[in-house]
Structure 1
Amino acid sequence: MTNTLHRYGTAESFRDDYIIFAIPSKGINDEDCIPKLKEFLRICASHSPVNMGNGNRGSLAPEKGLDPTVHWNRIAIKDWESVIEGVIKPGTVSAVFSTKEDAEACMKEIVTADFGFSVNMSTSVENAIQAAEASGIKRHSVEYSLGFYDPHDNLPDSQVLALSTMCGHGMVSFNMAKKMIEMVQEGRRSSEDAANTLLRFCPCGIYNSDRAKRILEQRRGKTE
């Protein structure tokens, strides 16, 4: 089971969304796995990821002198080496890619490295099948999210859901996603700035700012 399963959207909407993550199993293959997890992330870093993360310590490197207003102005500095060096104990590590070519090239190199622990890709089923074929392996299993059940129609619209659910731990709230849409529509924030703001609230590094930017661009000039 993975918290990346609940990303909202049609299969076509995941054309720029590929998450690859590695998970050692406690008591089975976690002994001396830290160098392997770091090497996994180094491979990912060499294939132009949109985001990377370490489940134990987060994604973007922390900074000094932060205050409550910093998220509105701070640039998202994607310091992958800090993420890699932050791996100090067994846990999930992940990387997000926005192109089929980058994701498949990364997966092919990971397959060749043969780290000996579970590696998964989260995207549409068709994307995953193609990535497996390009890597010379066959997909052996698939997990589905059954979606959302809302008999009273209380959920927000599909684009708010798509922006919010890219953080599988629910740290990007519906209201924050809606606020970013409104700010982009009003011309108060660029789609890139808004996407990077949302990215910073996802601590495990699976948020795709490129997909968020595309979704925000689609809403530019539209009103509810």
Structure 2
Amino acid sequence: MTNTLHRFGSRDSLRDDYIIFAMAARGINDQGAPPKLQTFLRLALKHHPINVGNAVKGGIFRASKALTPLAHWRRREFIAPEEVVESIDTCTTVSAVFDDPANLEAFLTELRGADLGISINIAALTDEARTCCQRAGITRHSVEYSLGFHGDLNRLPDRHVLELSTMCGHGMVAHNLAKKMLDWVKEGRRDPRQAATYLAKFCTCGIYNTTRAIRVLEEARVGK
């Protein structure tokens, strides 16, 4: 998916970032797709993803629709993953995010056996994704690359802001929000886990990697 190609960071920064999608093509194999997409996510949940998402309804981290002064005490930090699965009632794109290649590989092995007949797409470091596929007995069909960032790069925010904001490929995590969370963590107003959860709520596709976000926030806090 092109929306996950532009996650900013060095190779080392992306070492724990693996996103896998499933989707059906409208008018080609979309008939009966929702149960297959549900099966995809249920299989994924057996292998410890850190986030799952339904592009139409959202992921496990969601912004509140009714913010009041009481929301700080009453709103849920995240919803149960099974709620995401049950929300699939139409042809959509679903995703799972892993922070461990071993878990992704185990999922791919089981997914290959399920033979769902829909498109599967992995966004990660190219050689890491290829290795996981090979070990799971899958031959890669094609590969798409990001050519990086070009132009007047001096106008871009700093590295930590970009690493946090570009994990939402649709631009729903604003640079200023990422900067605010970085400042709050440095000031001790929020810990990295809390700040990462806040950021993930705005990525409505459910592809935000909170493990990586926590690491980036902690590195910024200690001045790395």
Q: Which amino acid aligns with 1:59?
A: G
Q: Does 1:200 align with 2:201?
A: yes
Q: TM-score, normalised by structure 2?
A: 0.92
Q: Give CA-to-partner distance per residue, 1:81-136, whole Å, 9 cap, x none.
A: 10000001001000001111111111111111111111011000111011111111
Call closer, same or farther: CA 1:42–1:181 in 2, change over 3 Å: same
- Please, which moves more after superposition, 142-151 or 120-129? 142-151
Which one-letter code corresponds to 1:133 in the other structure? Q
Greater percentage in helix: 2
Secondary structure of residue in 2 paired with 1:3: helix
Contact preservation (8 Å) 2:61, 2:201: no
Deviation sequence 1:58-81 (CA, Å, 0-9, x none)? 113768773167887755224111
Residue 26 and residue 65 in structure 1: after superposition, are their counterparts in 2 closer, same or farther (change >3 A)?
Answer: closer
Partner of 1:28: 28
Match of 2:17 in 1: 17
Q: Give the match's secondary structure for 2:111.
A: helix
Instruction: Decide whether the 8 Å contact of 1:15 with 1:100 is kept in 2.
Output: no
Shift of 1:6: 1.2
For residue 15 of structure 2, what is the amino acid of its counterpart? Answer: R
AA at the equivalent of 1:38: Q
Moved more, 132-141 or 211-220: 132-141
CA-based RMSD: 2.1
Contact 2:63 2:202 in 1 (8 A): no
> How does 1:119-134 map onto structure 2 within 5 Å?
119-134=120-135
For 2:33 and 2:173, how far apart are their aligned partners in 1? Answer: 31
Q: Which range is displaced more, 180-189 or 5-14?
A: 5-14
Q: Which residue of structure 1 aligns with residue 43 of structure 2?
A: 43
Structure 1 residue aligned with 2:147: 146
Q: Which runs of 5+ in 1 are unaligned?
A: none
- Percent of residue pairs bearing the same amino acid type: 47
Distance 1:211 1:178 in 2: 16
Pick closer, same or farther for the CA change 1:60–1:18 going to 2, 3 Å.
Answer: same
Structure-1 separation of matches of 2:151 and 2:135 = 38
1:186 aligns with 2:174: no
Q: Which amino acid aligns with 1:46?
A: K
Equivalent residue number for residue 66 of structure 1: 66
| 2:6 corresponds to | 6
Structure 2 unmatched ranges of 5 or more: none
SS at match of 2:78: coil
TM-score (norm 1): 0.92
Q: Residues 61 and 79 of structure 1 are in contact (CA less than 8 Å); yes or no, is this contact kept in structure 2?
A: no
Letter in 1 for 2:104: A
Stretches (4+) displaced over 4 A: 61-65, 68-75
Per the alignment, do residues 206 and 72 of structure 1 end up closer, same or farther by CA in structure 2, a change over 3 Å counting?
farther
User: What code does the residue aligned with 1:198 have?
Assistant: L
